[in-house]
A and B are shown apart, each in its own frame.
Chain A
Amino acid sequence: MFTERLQVLMSREQRRRLEAEAKRRRSSVGALIREAIDTRGASATPEERSRAIAEIKSMRGGRFLSSRELERVIDEERERLPGRARRRR
């Protein structure tokens, strides 16, 4: 049961988009906002987050590349992806 009322300020454009999306889904703006809140609520606990960082801290053996080199690797990986996907099939 919904018992809480909340007034939210937003831009005209945000409101227009919310109403358009609600119409597209044949739903209501309120239902859309409740769904967004529930989605964001499904996040990790502080303990889970800290455990993930501890696991990153325990990692060994990586190779340092400058930020520019990292960007180059990312670009090359993007270009390689279609070929790699074909090989995996």
Chain B
Amino acid sequence: MTFLVDANVIVYAAIPSRYREPCLEVLAAIAAGKADGKVSTAVFEEVWHLELSGRVGPIRGLAERAYRAFTPLLPVTDDIVARALRLDAKRLGSNDRIHVATALANGIATIVSADSDFDQVRAIRRVDPLDDRAITRLL
């Protein structure tokens, strides 16, 4: 099953917390070709912003490593922006709408994310990295 990987999964794979191991497991499975996870240019941009902000600690090089692991990224096209604008998810932020629209435009119905805001969108299923059973089914 193909799924979209959110920026927090990539960032949490690099910093100490209870999220780290499951997030690393997801990324490693994708890199090894055992799971079909995708990263979009919008997700990549968020990782890069977080790295450059310096507010998540010393995670220098994370964006470049994520790029090497997940290229080619899913592009955010004009069609995806149009879908994001039409999305029925009033409480979802603009970038999260872009993520959902990117997934739907690519026939992806699942996003792995620690962000529960995605739970309000019926069109997509969120899998939390801490949900062992759901992650096991996905990988």
Show the binding face of A for B, using Cβ within 8 Å.
Answer: 39-40, 42-44, 46, 48-53, 55-57, 59-68, 70-71, 73-74, 76-78
Contacts and interface: CB of A to CB of B under 8 A. Distances in A.
A15 to B, nearest CB: 14
Interface of B: 7-8, 10-17, 19, 24, 27-28, 30-33, 46, 49-50, 52-53, 55-59, 61-62, 65-66, 68-72, 93, 95, 113-116
B53 A77 contact: yes
B68 A70 contact: no
B21 to A, nearest CB: 10
14 contacts: A46-B31, A49-B32, A53-B28, A57-B13, A57-B24, A62-B16, A63-B55, A64-B19, A70-B7, A73-B50, A73-B56, A74-B49, A74-B53, A77-B50
Given A56-B13, A64-B15, A70-B50, A49 B68 contact: yes
B66 A56 contact: yes
A66 B19 CA distance: 11
Contacts of A46: 31-33
Given A52-B65, A64-B15, A71-B93, A40 B72 contact: yes
A53 B27 contact: yes
A61 B16 CA distance: 7
A55 B69 CA distance: 10
Contacts of B46: 70, 74
Given A62-B58, A63-B56, 17 more contacts: A40-B72, A43-B72, A46-B33, A49-B70, A53-B13, A55-B61, A56-B62, A56-B65, A59-B14, A61-B15, A62-B11, A64-B17, A64-B19, A70-B50, A71-B95, A74-B7, A78-B49
